[in-house]
């Protein structure tokens, strides 16, 4: 898959999500469905959005014992999504089980990427609550390497980390990066941000963009601005 812009469809119900996607009459955006929309609208919303011709990143961040994750991934694979994810903190055994569960009888499967340390976790919380005392950058890179060794396709990371992840894990290891803002836009609660053009420059494979598109006066124009900066 080439570089693409993924819109974070962070809506609380199916009606809002579908009304938002109705605006896109030309190029069909790659869509991220997260916990809020999935828990509110269920697997049906995934099928509906897929049937409209969108690619889907199902962002449910699984983390449980290997057998449970394997079975859950099997169900998600049947939904015919394009990318799924899990927490690398579930360890190698869980990641390998997830890959097994995702792989269909014909050998195909959705891409599987890992969340490393959440960007909401800082050094202090990691040391105090998780008893992990290494520098957080080193922890993120270690999780990326562990995910790569388990056979995963990439990680979710800050665009600021994408270059380093590629040097460590290879150019083919996907970096999917939220925290993207237009140069003249609001940052909101994102602290370390990059523009789509900077994310392209540093080597992100996919940018995940939510509010700069969903809250724009003209979402299609904002989406196309991302596409023009990032993909071309």
Residues that bind ligand C5P (CB under 6 A): 8, 10, 34, 118-119, 156, 178-179, 188, 190, 208-212
Residue placing its CB nearer to ligand C5P in the complex, 202 or 209: 209
Q: CB of 48: closest distance to ligand C5P in angstroms?
A: 19
Nearer to ligand C5P, 10 or 205 (CB): 10
- The minimum distance between CB 49 and ligand C5P, in angstroms, equals 15
Answer yes or no: 61 catalytic.
yes
Q: Which is nearer to ligand C5P, 72 or 157 (CB)?
A: 157
Smallest distance from ligand C5P to CB 207, Å? 9
- Smaller CB separation from ligand C5P, 66 or 126: 126
Selected catalytic residue, list 3, 50, 55, 61: 61
Q: Determine the residue with CB nearest ligand C5P.
A: 210
In contact, 9 and 37? CB cutoff 8 Å: yes
Full 3-state SS string of the chain: CCCEEEEECCCCCHHHHHHHHHCCCCCCCEEEEEHHHHHHHCHHHHHHHHHCCCCEEEEEEECCCHHHHHHHHHHHHHCCCCEEEEEHHHHHHHHHHHHHHHCCCCCCCCEEEEECCCCCCCHHHHHHHHCCCCCHHHHHHHHHHHHHHCCCCEEECCHHHHHHHHHHHCCCCEEEECCECCCCCCCCCCCCCECHHHHHHHCCCEEEECHHHHCCCCHHHHHHHHHHHHCC
Cβ distance to ligand C5P smaller for residue 65 or 130: 130
Q: How far is the CB of 66 from ligand C5P (least distance, A)?
A: 23
Closest distance of CB 166 from ligand C5P, Å: 18
Catalytic residues: 61
């Amino acid at each position: 898959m080439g570089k693409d812009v993924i819109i974070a469809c962070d809506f609380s119900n199916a009606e809002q999500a579908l009304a938002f996607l109705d605006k896109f009459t030309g190029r069909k955006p790659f869509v991220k469905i997260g916990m809020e929309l999935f828990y509110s609208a269920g697997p049906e919303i995934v099928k509906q959005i897929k049937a409209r011709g969108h690619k889907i990143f199902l962002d449910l961040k699984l983390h449980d014992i290997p057998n449970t994750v394997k079975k859950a991934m099997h169900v998600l694979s049947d939904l015919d999504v394009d990318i799924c994810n899990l927490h690398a903190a579930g360890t190698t055994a869980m990641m390998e089980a997830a890959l097994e569960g995702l792989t269909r009888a014909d050998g195909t499967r959705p891409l599987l990427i890992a969340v490393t340390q959440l960007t909401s976790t800082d050094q202090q919380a990691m040391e105090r609550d998780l008893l992990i005392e290494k520098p957080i950058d080193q922890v993120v890179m270690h999780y990326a390497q562990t995910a790569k060794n388990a056979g995963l396709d990439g990680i979710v990371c800050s665009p600021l980390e994408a270059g380093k992840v590629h040097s460590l894990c290879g150019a083919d290891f996907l970096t999917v990066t939220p925290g993207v803002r237009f140069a003249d836009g609001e940052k909101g609660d994102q602290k370390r941000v990059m523009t789509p053009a900077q994310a392209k420059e540093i080597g992100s494979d996919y940018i995940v963009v939510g509010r700069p598109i969903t809250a724009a006066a003209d979402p299609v124009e904002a989406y196309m601005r991302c596409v023009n900066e990032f993909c071309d």
